[in-house]
Structure formats: C-alpha cells, structure tokens
Structure 1
Amino acid sequence: MRSLKVLILEPNPFQLMALHQMLNAVGIYDVLAAHSLSAARRSLGRRGMVDIAICDPQLKGGDGLALLTHLTEHVEAQALILIGDVAASVLQDVTAMTSRSPVRLLGHLRKPISAVLMRDLLDNYQLGQSGKVPMPRSAVDV
C-alpha cells in the first residue's frame, strides 16, 4: 500500500488509539491523531493536506461536522471515511456536501470498526488513485 497521510478525529482516547493501531497494522504510519476540532485544524496547518480524514460527523459539540465542512470547503483531504452511528439525514447532508467538492466520500463504518472493512475502503481509495478502478462519489455504507 502506498504511504498515505490520514487524519483521525476521535475524542475517545481508547478509540483513537485503536484506529491509529488499525491503520499502522495495514502499513499506514503517517497518521495525524486529533481529539478535537482545534487539534485537527492545528495538525492540518502544520502538516498540510491529508489523503483521508476519518471522523464521526455527529461528535458532541459539532466538531465532526465542522471538520468535514472545513475539509470539503478548503479541500484539505482527498477523501473521507465516516465512522459511528450516523443519522440518515446527516449522511445525506455529508453526501451532498462532498458532491459539490473534489473531496470524495469513501464510506461509512459503524462502531466497533471492522479492520477488514476499513482495509477494503483504504484499498478502494488506492485503486481509485492508481486509475485501476473508478472511485465512487457516493457513500458506501458498510
């Protein structure tokens, strides 16, 4: 797998560590881990654009949706993976937001996150980047 830069926004330290380790296990070591919107924005400011951002759009305080809005408006990520129990209306909003942006929505993974399903989304992204398989513009609910 080509080296990817991934941003994770997850306020729960245990879940943040688990996602980070899951990415490391599949060979992704350039991981920006943030527990808040402000920490995520600081990391992006220091390290620049990421390939993939992973977050729950329904985080308490609106941090998740605010990050997704920021990423799509400023194109600071190439793709998004949503995690958690996302309401259908929020999923529709995020899908609409990404349809107006070059940022792609790779899919939605429910918690607890399956390493196999995460790997499938990452592989799909890699194949889309290599031109072998067109990457879908709509969300994959797995």
Structure 2
Amino acid sequence: MNVPVVTRPLTEREHNLAQWMLEHGSPEAAAFQAQLECAEATTWRCPCGCASFNFKIEGKPDAPPGVHILGDFVVGKGDEMFGIFIFESGGILSGLEVYRLAAEASPVLPAPEQLRPWSEPNIGSAIEVCGNGRNDG
C-alpha cells in the first residue's frame, strides 16, 4: 500500500535558495526551473536536525531513489564550513541537502549570497552526508 506524501508550500527562503542554486549550478540545472515552480516540500525532516528537505513536484510521481547533483556549494570558512547541494533523480527535482564538512550541517538554510562553488580552492574533500530519506548515505 502506498502512503501519500504529505507536503507543504515552499517557504520564500526555500524557493529563493533553490532557484539560485539551479541558476548557478551545472549546465543541466536550469532545465529544472519549471519543476521548481510546481514544487512543494515534503514534511520529512532529517534526523540530524539539518535544514535538508525533499521536493514533491505537482503532476509528477515521487522521485525514485538516487541522487544526481545539479549544484553543489559550500558555506562558511575553516571550522564553520558546511555544504549544500540540490539534486534530481529520474528527471525529477528531488531535494536540497545540507551536509557536514568542518562544521555541523546547519539547521537553518543559508542565504544565496553566502554560497560559493564547491570547486573554489582550499576546500577539503571529506564529506559526511546525512541520510535524506532517498538513499542510504
């Protein structure tokens, strides 16, 4: 038996951040802008307390398991640094993941102007991603 996914409207902060990440992500990310306009957030919450959330796109099935990153960014410096990425699976915008680097993953979403590309120099490679309900890692 399939249990329906419970959703809520995206907050302005969630929408604006996701939009910025799609605009500044990989070349393919822009194609997901239309889905964002039909997106709500599921009521799922990450057990670690971070600000990660999953999308439910109106008129689309639930996204299948898997993560294809559309934009990956970091926030902060040194001991205060954490990461954030937006992802899709099976062609469906799936979620926004906040993950631990040097600092705990933030319980509050950052503002777009706080993000910088993952590829900037002096960013370590150790990533601890908390489970987002869509994969085992």
What is the TM-score when the length of structure 1 is the normalising length? Answer: 0.31
Which of the two has greater strand per residue? 2
Which of the two has greater helix per residue? 1
Asked which structure has the greater RCO (Cα within 8 Å, sep 6+), the reply is: 2
The structure with the largest alpha-carbon Rg is: 2
What is the TM-score when the length of structure 2 is the normalising length? Answer: 0.32
